[in-house]
């Protein structure tokens, strides 16, 4: 008797789970889904283009300053090579120390500027993310989307252009500025 009740309970629970699962599937079939290519949106948004320009200018400045320091190091290396036979040991040691100091200064400069550039980039991306939030909320509400996915290989296997809202996001971003 106990086994029969246990079997009936399992059957009842299984039936309830199947009906619940099938209703979820039916509800999912009615779900409205969109995809967005966030890389495209960030790169083509006004703030994204401004960030790209700012980072490019920053990189040019760094390169110019780094080249000056490299030229200084090369000049010291050349002076060391030329003076190997004509300079005293103390003068050679002084040139060697100057050369090493310039190299350390160059490495520190590059490390500092890399950190500065990374911070600039992350701050800019954070600002873009904050600007995108109300845009996605507006698109979601205006179009009754239940789900908006980032069109990333491996996450979204396949998506029709019909559900891609990337260009719409950029249009709204531009109209909000």
pLDDT of residue 84 exceeding 90, the answer is no
Q: How far apart are CA 130 and CA 16, in angstroms?
A: 43
Q: Are residues 83 and 162 part of one domain?
A: yes
Q: Are residues 66 and 102 part of one domain?
A: yes
pLDDT tens-digit readout, 32-42: 888 898 999 99
Q: Give the domain range for residue 97.
A: 31-175
Confidence at residue 17, expressed as pLDDT on a 0 to 100 scale: 42
- Tokens representing 67? 């080249």
pTM of the model: 0.66
Q: Are residues 171 and 97 part of one domain?
A: yes
Number of domains in the chain: 2
Confidence at residue 18, expressed as pLDDT on a 0 to 100 scale: 46
Q: Are residues 37 and 9 part of one domain?
A: no
Q: Are residues 50 and 18 part of one domain?
A: no
Confidence at residue 11, expressed as pLDDT on a 0 to 100 scale: 43
Query: What's the pLDDT band for 70 if we cut at 50, 70, 90?
Result: very high
Q: Are residues 80 and 17 part of one domain?
A: no
């Amino acid at each position: 008797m106990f086994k029969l009740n246990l079997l009936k309970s399992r059957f009842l629970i299984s039936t309830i789970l199947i009906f619940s699962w099938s209703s979820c599937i039916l509800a999912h079939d009615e779900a409205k889904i969109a995809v967005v290519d966030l890389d495209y949106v960030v790169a083509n948004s006004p703030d994204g283009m401004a960030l790209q320009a700012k980072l490019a200018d920053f990189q040019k400045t760094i390169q110019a300053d780094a080249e000056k320091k490299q030229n200084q190091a090369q000049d010291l290396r050349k002076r060391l090579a030329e003076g190997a036979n004509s300079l005293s040991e103390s003068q050679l040691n002084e040139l060697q120390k100057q050369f090493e100091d310039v190299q350390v200064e160059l490495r520190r400069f590059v490390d500092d500027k890399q950190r500065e550039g990374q911070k600039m980039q992350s701050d800019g991306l954070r600002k873009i993310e904050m600007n995108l939030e109300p845009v996605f909320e507006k698109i979601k509400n205006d179009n009754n989307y239940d789900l908006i996915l980032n069109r990333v290989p491996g996450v979204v296997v396949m998506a029709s252009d019909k559900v891609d809202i990337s260009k719409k996001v950029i249009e709204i971003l531009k109209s909000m500025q």
